[in-house]
Structure 1
Amino acid sequence: MKKPFFRLLIGILVIIVLTILNILLFDKVFKVMNLKVLKWFPLFMCFMGFYMAGLINRETKIFLTPLLLISLVIYIPLELFYFPYFLTVILFSSLGILLSRREIVYRIKIPLLVILIGVFGFFLFSQPLIIKNKGFGIDPRNDLYNATVLWDFKAKKPASLPNEMFQDTEGNTFSLKELEGKTLLITFWATWCGPCIAEKPELEKLKMKFQDHQDIVFVDISVDSNIEKWKSYLSEHNSNGYQIVSQNVARTYSNFNFSGIPFHIIVDSDGKYKKCHGPNILDEQLLSNPVKLNEYLNTPYKVFKTIKLSEKDTIVRVR
């Protein structure tokens, strides 16, 4: 009885080690942009890890192999644990185990493989895949330089606000859909984020500048896990606009496709949005001029490369 549990333990360790190695490989070696929010990546890691663990446990009774799912606890600190996406993670974990089993015949394995490839392909191509080259950066116009865009099928289309529920300071649920018909500047921040706190004064000045514009609304969304600390900060500092907090940080990062804060988006009256820069360099006409905002939302980002002209690091952008 000891051997099966020893193999299961080895399988769990293999899954955890492969997860860490994949993160290092895609982040540090391949330098994939926004790796944290790419939904195909956890599925890839799951299948690889659980398939290898399944091979190790081929002699283990199949009814014991669900114990390998214990290794998914590593997804909690990685902020990949949120419903309903995590059901897909469990599906890929299970398929990895099943496809490694000898007793699963090919007439069953082939449909399972088709399902796996179909779901994986959907997630793979539904988000942009961008490689960060040496000197990578994003300028104030959200154009990229020193980057390789492998694909981005939605580059020409502004995103639509996801249907996510947040929580206000009174504990009530709040949806951004309630602000439909308004122009929104949404800031994602946290009390533990130094750059977020540093830009707060400029953000509050911007709010005061547009306080008489009823059609322009400011929303600050905290990604604090400590709700009481968030409330304490708000009680000690004057923060105008809507103050709400994420109920699931991993889901918020994924829904709005960002991996770091502060992060800002500007939303038009139809609920279409695009990333924008903070209050220090925000073109304020985007808030007050619907025509200019519409043009901004519907202009896809450009990708440039940089050429060094001298030892003073002067560069020119070339498409």
Structure 2
Amino acid sequence: MSLDTRYDGQGGAAPGDSGSLVSIAGRIQRAIEEVIEGKPDVVRLVLTVLLAEGHLLIEDIPGVGKTMLAKALARAVRCSVQRVQFTPDLLPSDITGVSVYHQDRNEFEFSPGPVFANIVLGDEINRASPKTQSALLECMEEMQVSVDGTTRPLERPFMVAATQNPADMEGTYPLPEAQRDRFMARISVGYPTPEAELEMIDTHGGRSPLERLAPVAEAGDVRAMVEQVRGIHVAPGVRRYVVDLVTATRNSPALRFGASPRATLHLVRAARAYAALEGRHYVVPDDVQALALPVLTHRLLLTPEARVERHTPERVVADLVAHLPVPSPR
């Protein structure tokens, strides 16, 4: 399937520019990289989650560009965007919406919350209470919101891109396990290289490059790309490889809880999107290995003994990937 939308690179139509998944995704990636310098792998993972219909958790220390990354994605795709600044006094109804009574009409009218958007930017999500964080559970899993006995569907594409500071920082709450499991992947932006930081002084010193970022794709393009990703072939051997990897996390003596069946589905969906971005119509084990850490580690809980021995979920998953037999190409 090919996509017909064409752009001139400035947000407008341009004849002669083909609209395949790879070319449109490449335009989105280049647009984001105009704002986030020196992080191509991070940007590629963001696009992978978007095309896999997942949600993204961006965790890192303050000041490294977590919110800027989420904003750049929202600017690069012309679609509805809402931002939620999570604070300790935020209420669940501030996210999902509330029914307002109109005395003149003697009836209630639903006022939709910020989750009724294609891309929802949740800034510092772990500064809100677990009760408020839980307001996102239904919409992230079922693409709908239930308020006052009425269920309302959300428009596709729908993606929650949430940022959070490390849990040991002051004023933060740990994300509930059910909340963490609904995020397809967790990434860390990390410090820029010295060269990228020097370039940042020039590009960010006067005004934010977000002001110059024009949309290079439409919501309809993303929906079409998502449909194409769903058709990427996953061979039986690769499926078994994914199941064996997830099962290994459940049997690891270093982990209290392994990855859930939802993690299995997320890893397969993410691998399909990753393969599509590479221009392939099939998934290979390398795709699964590349995504194992960002998709699995934030769901895992270490045993007290593993913590004493200074193990990390990243190290555990890396060891499992290194020792798990890789299926043959057939």
TM-score normalised according to structure 2 size: 0.22
From the CA coordinates, give the structure whose radius of gyration is larger: 1
Higher relative contact order (CA 8 A, sep 6+): 2
TM-score (structure 1 length as normaliser)? 0.23
In proportion to residue count, which structure has more strand?
1
